[in-house]
Every structure is written in C-alpha cells, then in structure tokens.
Structure 1
Amino acid sequence: MRKIKQFSRSGRPFGLFLSAFGMFIVSTDSLFTRVAEIDGWTIAFFVGVFSVPSMSIIVWKTLGKKVVSEINNYRWPLFISAALAAVGTTAFIQAVTRTAVANVVTIVAGAPIFAGLIAKFAIGENTSGRIWKAISGTFFGILIIVSGSLATGGLDGDLMALLAILVFSTNLVIWRHFKEMSRTLVVLIAPIFIMLFTFIPAQFDALDKRALLCTLGMGLFVGPIARLCMVSATRHASAAEVSMFTPVETIFASLWVWLWFDEVPEVTTFIGGFLVLASVFYGIRSNK
C-alpha cells in the first residue's frame, strides 16, 4: 500500500490552510450578529466578555509563567496589535448591524490588496505592477458598493466595514513582521480592549436569551478559533497570501444570511462585488 503523506504543520501550505479555515469559521459571525437582534456595541462588549475566559485558559496552558516575559519582550507591538484587533472586531459587528451583510463581506474581500499595499510601505514586501492594478480595481469596486448604499441607506455600515478591513490588513503586516510574538496573547488582550471601547455605549439590559446564546457562541468559540487561525497563519505565509482567503468569508457569510433571512444583495453589491473579487484573484495570481 502507498504510504499516505502526512499533512505538515509548518510551511506555506499550512499557513494557507489556517487562513482558509479561519475565514470559514468567522463567516458565521455575521449570522450570529443578525440573529442576536440587538445593537452592535452590546454584541461587541459581550463577545469580549465571553472571549476572555477561554483565551485565558489557552494562554496559561501555552505560556504559563512566560506570560510576563512575553509581554515585556513585545510590549508595544503586542498592545497595538490587540487594540487594532479590537477596533476591527467592533467595526465589523457595527457594520453588520447597519448595512447588508453582502456589502460588509464584499468590502472585506479587498483585504489582500490592502495588506499588500501596507506591507509594501511598512516592511518593504514587494508589490508588483499587477498588485497595483488590482488595488485600482478593488477601490472602484468598493466605490460602486458604497454608491448603492447612498441610495438605499447603510453608508455608515459600509464605512465601518472599510475601517474593519483597514485595521485587519494592518494587523496582518504586524503579525508577519513579529513572527515570534505570542499569538495567543494578542487574542487574549484584544477582547479586553473591546470591553474598554464598548463599555459606555453598550446596553446591558438589552441582552435577552437569544442574544446571550449568540454572543456566547461568538465569544467562546467562533472568535478565539478564527483569530488564532489568522494570527498563526502569518508565521507561515505572507500577509497578502494569508488575506487572499477573505473571499471564503464573503461567499459563506452571504450564503448564511440568504438562507436564514432571505437577504438578497442590491444590484450595486453584485456589480461592485464582482469587480472586487475579480481584482483580488487577478492580484493573487502575481504571488504564484
């Protein structure tokens, strides 16, 4: 019998697998947020609350007494990365509560282009002419999506989605640059920042049983698993390569809300989304 080749837990293929799996898991965030039927600030706050216990256990198991030394070694990049992750998560949840999910996840699909652009100027990763063309296509695609929201409402949600993807792309570059920085600590500190950012606007009395179950699922399982996959993927692949799997979220998140809520995207979302995805895949081919 032929010996089955063991799947390697290192190298570029493993990094791409982690990225794809993380994006598939996080695609359920949009559905949970919609099902909760409460405001985004409150959802984000309780997602932060429920993320801390599970991540604290993971950090203790993986780092133990090395936690203090790890914080001292990577103090500024660690806290900046965690703060950016908190802003990104909060902005994403706000976006889903303010505009069509398809709009949000289609804008998010532009991550590879933004990550490549930021990596070019921040850490000197090469950006080809093909990538610059893809950046232009992505930009115009997002403009088309936003133009649809000007007529139908939801512009603030589109802008929140744009903020989310900008900070996410920036974080990919930080994680790529500081490869040895503890990923579990980033994922633990991020929800603490989320709670700090959302404590004042959160409406605690709005949390009913449905919202409790949704935020519990997002905080205990979806968020930590997805974030650990994404931050770990950058140890094995470039920022642009890791982010190229954001279309996985675009496809599945749109599918979940279509099946659950029968939410059909606007025509401008289809047109702009096609341009964004086509530009992303065009740009990705330059990395092969």
Structure 2
Amino acid sequence: MVAVPSFIPTSGRRLGLLLAAAGMFLVSTDAVLVRLADVDGGTFAFMSGLWSTPLMWTIANRSLGRDLGTRLREYRNPLVLTGVMGAISTTAFVTAVTKTDVANVVAIIGAGPIIAAVTARIALKEHASGRTWLAIAGAIGGILVIVGGSLSAGGATGDLLAIVAISGFGMNITIWRRHPDMPRVLIVAMTATCTVVLTALMANPLSLDRTGLMATLAMGAVFGPTARFCMTTATRHASAAEVSLFTPVETVSATLWAWLWFNEVPATLTFVGGAVVLAAVFYGVTGPAREIAPPPTAHT
C-alpha cells in the first residue's frame, strides 16, 4: 500500500476542505470541454451522462456488491431527489456556457456559498461560524466585482441558466450533508442516469464530431464523476457552508482556462475580483481546525 504523505489530511475537516477544493478545480474544466465540443447543451449533457452511466453503475456494483439493492431501497427518495437536482444543475450549466461568456457563467456560480449556507441553515439548522460567514461575504464581494467587469449585454438566458445551475448545486450540498452515510458512488451513478433521461429528447448525438465525442467522454467518464465524488464526500467532513465556499475556485479557474484556450480575455475587474475571492477563501479555511457542526443524523 502506498503511504500517504503526512501533509495530506486523511480525515476530519481538513480532508473535507481538500476534497471540496479538488472537486471545484476539476469542475472548472467543464466549460472548456463544452466549448471544445461546440454543440448545444442538451446534447453535451446527454452524451456525458451516457458515458458516465454504465461506468458508475459498474463501479457501484463492484463497490457495494450484494448490498447494492439494499442501499438503493434504503436511500431511494434522497437518491432520486439528488439525481434529479444534479441532472438539472448539470444541464443548466453546460447550456449556459453555450449561450454566454464563460466568465459570466462562473461569476454567477461563485454565489454558491450563499445558497448552500441558507439552505443548510433552513433544512439542517446548521450554524456556520462567524469566520465562514465573513469569508462568504468576502467571496460574494469578489464575485460582484467580477460580474461588474465581465457580464456582457445579451446574455440574459445564459445568466438565468447559471442561476438555476448553482441553485441546484447548493441544494444538493444540503442533501449530501443530511445523508452522510448515503453511498457517494450511488449519488454519482444516479445523477448520470437522471441526466440521460432528462436530456434524451432534446439531444442530437449525430451533431457531434470526433472532438465533441472526446470532450463528452472526458467529462462523462473522468472529470465529471471524479469531481462529483470529491464534492459529495467533502460534505461528510465539513459543513455545507464551508464546502460551498470553494465554488469561487471554479470561478477563477474556469475564467483562466477560457482565457488560455479561447482567448476570452477577462476584464481588469475580473482579475481584481479573483484576488478578492481567493483571499476570502483562504481566510475562511484557515480558521480553527474544528468541525463547525457535528454531522447530522441521516434521514430517509
């Protein structure tokens, strides 16, 4: 067995924060893959889900074995709910990227901490620390700076879809936090399945060329499942507010990828806002290494 370096956490809040950061960094590649595919959002989401579904159910079967059916029945309702929310969020996000600038979409995605913190407060009675709320306020301030410098006219549809995407993600974080024992591999598998069902009628797979197929394969079989597994597992170790605090990581990273790959040069205010966001995230995760709230009891 390979030894884990001592500086890499293996449990507790620090592990949750590391997984959240890794998950959002991986998610930041989605916008690049969508642009490379150069197809409508429904087709991209459908094909990504189509690649991911058999892979994830195979992994789930090997991971859970004879317990697969039992766990499906045990968590049937929350699994379906998180799958549907994930499908809506994914489809809305990839469609938004096709209708407006990447910087616009990910700037709005950066508002995730507010939605997650509010839904967790309402649904779980989960109290975030004052430090976390200050970090959230700072991150949102940075996002507002980015929005002021990058939002362009005529992107209302894409902006609205981005709001739908981050709303679904924020609610899902609360579901994952509420059910810490729900197998994460089943969440990823169910989300892929629901995405295929949701987008089947609107998809046109024949419109994909070779590059498009490879882009959907990369997202559906590699980046998407890995990122979702990191994010769902992070909620076992850190509060919903803290996990969502890393959505601005995608805002900054995806804007950078769009600049490097497609020459979508961000405005000066985007750089300023990005620095504010990163500073806020650093402030929020470098507080006392303690759990903000104990993991809630699972409900089915």
- Amino acid aligned to 1:191: A
**Structure 2: gaps spanning 5 or more residues:** 290-300
Distance between the aligned counterparts of 2:151 and 2:250, measured in 1? 24
- Amino acid aligned to 1:184: V
Distance between the aligned counterparts of 2:191 and 2:281, measured in 1? 28
Corresponding residue of 1:222: 223
Structure 1, residues 237-284: CA drift from partner, whole Å, max 9, x if none?
111111212222122211111111100235676677677777767777
Contact 1:109/1:277, CA 8 A, preserved across alignment:
no
- Amino acid aligned to 2:158: G
Identity of aligned residues (%): 48
- Amino acid aligned to 2:243: V
Query: Structure 1: which 4+ aligned runs deviate by more than 4 Å?
Result: 127-151, 266-288
Corresponding residue of 1:107: 108
Contact 1:30/1:101, CA 8 A, preserved across alignment:
yes
Aligned-residue offset at 1:285: 7.5
Larger helix percent: 1
- Amino acid aligned to 2:89: G
Distance between the aligned counterparts of 1:255 and 1:144, measured in 2? 16
Confirm or deny that 1:31 pairs with 2:32: yes
Distance between the aligned counterparts of 2:255 and 2:151, measured in 1? 21
Aligned-residue offset at 1:7: 3.9
Distance between the aligned counterparts of 2:284 and 2:40, measured in 1? 36
Corresponding residue of 1:119: 120
Distance between the aligned counterparts of 2:121 and 2:22, measured in 1? 26
Corresponding residue of 1:201: 202
Corresponding residue of 2:253: 252
Q: TM-score, normalised by structure 2?
A: 0.84
Contact 1:100/1:265, CA 8 A, preserved across alignment:
no
Give the alignment of 1:24-103 within 5 angstroms.
24-103=25-104
Contact 1:128/1:286, CA 8 A, preserved across alignment:
no
Count of paired positions: 285
Aligned-residue offset at 1:9: 2.3
Corresponding residue of 2:154: 153
SS of the aligned residue for 1:185 comes to helix
Structure 1, residues 92-149: CA drift from partner, whole Å, max 9, x if none?
1011111111111121122122211111111101146776677777778767777788
Contact 1:106/1:273, CA 8 A, preserved across alignment:
no
- Amino acid aligned to 2:81: I
Bigger CA drift: 28-37 or 122-131?
122-131
Aligned-residue offset at 1:158: 1.1
Q: TM-score, normalised by structure 1?
A: 0.87
Distance between the aligned counterparts of 1:284 and 1:163, measured in 2? 27
Pairwise CA RMSD? 2.7
